[in-house]
A = this chain, B = another copy of it.
Amino acid sequence: MLRAIKGDFIYAGDRQKLSAHKNSYLVYEDGVIHGIYSVLPAAYLQAELEDYEGRLIIPGLNDLHLHAPQYSFRGLGMDMELLDWLQTQAFPNEARYADIAYADRAYSQFVEALRTSATCRAAIFATLHTDATLLLMQKLEESGLYSFVGRVNMDREAPVYLCEASAAAALEETRSWIEHSLQRFHHTRPILTPRFIPSCTDTLMRGIGRLAERYAMPLQSHLSENPAEIALVGRLCPDSGSYAEAYARRGCLGQTNAPAIMAHCVWCDEDEQALLREYGAFVAHCPDSNMNLSSGIAPVRQYMDAGLRLGLGSDVAGGTQLSLFRAMQQAVQCSKLRWRLNAQTEKPLSLAEVFYMATRGGGEFFGAVGAFEPGYAADLLVLDEGEIPTPLEDELSLQQRLERYIYLAAEQRPLHKYVAGNKLF
């Protein structure tokens, strides 16, 4: 069905430039955009119109990295580094998802929070518990959000209660979960999810690589987050010159028709960057988490210049907030600190660039997503600027209104949210 929305539209035209369309009409049909017009063309006069005149409308945000089971304990145990935090916070809490009643309670809260947030699409880690993972997928499917969800694989360097019985059993269980979820869900897709090299034996990791190939299925994992973790990978994988190479050698860097998402990439050197580019992998930049877990500041300017595929991740619960507006602020702030502390060699990220990452950059993982251009999915957020008081009577540009919203209304619920043309609220 043909529909039109009226309002003040702004989106990332490319990596550096915002495209603003004041008082215009967005036309879409069956969830796919036809175009934006300052005057509604005659051919579209019969479209069903929703009038949000004067409201700022932006593409839905896309979260390339978060852990659903960790939503429950976000904001606790923050005075720790990655490996300690995993052992004392993440692992014991993830073990609770063996209890389906707990999973039901926890995932209901998580999905409701994500549904009412500004995020339209997400790539999500679950746990190794198949039943709980399917329950999460069911709830996401019902929410109207679009997502990739991963049953997490681990068979070493973790408490026994979070390790698969064996690599072979893990691969069989994963295969069966894939088959089941491919049949059962429409916009909630399975994604291969080896936690990271330290928690997967070579046998398991290579098996996952074969599954990726067999199903032409994307994969998500963690890469070069923390110096101690990187040193551990060096000891575990003497066959590889880098952490990224260790994934590549095991067929897990997206060497299929479907790309990989690598979260963090705080410490990737030129060689690792070259591998990421070669395989078209997405970098999920997670500045909140990288600060909380003392990981460092990712060289995002280098990734931009190298043409890597780039998106933002909240990384709940290494990050504490689902808000990707918050992640945009923090990505800019971290890049400014990196610039200042690194002899001013890498130019800070601009607001337009981080907005690109949160919309179009991350959206690319989901297909034609994150822009208001023909053929793109009709994912959009109608924003409420009324909660930000100002005595200024100057008329602000759409760019300024966007900047104000990102900095001042990061935690606010959008007024309306559409995913693939469906109005969620």
Residues on A lying within 8 angstroms of B by beta carbon are 72-79, 102, 105-106, 109, 113, 291-297, 320-321, 329, 332-334, 336-337, 339-341, 348, 350-351, 388-392, 396, 400, 403-408, 411
Contacts and interface: CB of A to CB of B under 8 A. Distances in A.
A71 to B, nearest CB: 9
Given A320-B408, A341-B341, A351-B79, A113 B389 contact: yes
Contacts of A113: 389
Contact of A411 (B102, B389, B411): B411
B404 A76 contact: yes
A152 to B, nearest CB: 19
Q: Per DSSP, are chain A's interface residues mostly helix, strand or loop, or mixed?
A: helix
A294 B332 CA distance: 10
Contacts of A406: 75
A334 to B, nearest CB: 8
Given A341-B341, A391-B105, A78 B348 contact: no
Contact of A109 (B291, B292, B390): B390
A166 B296 CA distance: 48
B400 A340 contact: no
A332 B102 contact: no
B391 A109 contact: yes
Which interface residue of A78, A102, A109 has the most chain B CB atoms within 10 A? A78
Nearest to A321: B408
Contact of A72 (B75, B76, B348, B391): B391
Contacts of A388: 75
A371 B295 CA distance: 33
Nearest to A93: B392
Contacts of A392: 72-73
B75 A403 contact: yes
B106 A297 contact: no
Contact of A295 (B340, B350, B400): B340
A290 to B, nearest CB: 8
6 contacts: A72-B392, A75-B408, A78-B407, A113-B389, A294-B339, A296-B337
A296 B113 CA distance: 34
A332 B77 CA distance: 13
Given A339-B294, A350-B79, A408 B333 contact: no
Contact of A403 (B76, B396, B411): B76
Contacts of A405: 75
B408 A74 contact: yes
Contacts of A350: 79
A390 B294 contact: no
A396 B76 CA distance: 10
B295 A390 contact: no
Contacts of A105: 391
Which interface residue of A337, A391, A411 has the most chain B CB atoms within 10 A? A391
Given A333-B291, A337-B291, A337-B337, A404 B296 contact: no
A333 B319 CA distance: 11
Nearest to A291: B333
Contacts of A320: 329, 407-408
A109 B411 CA distance: 20
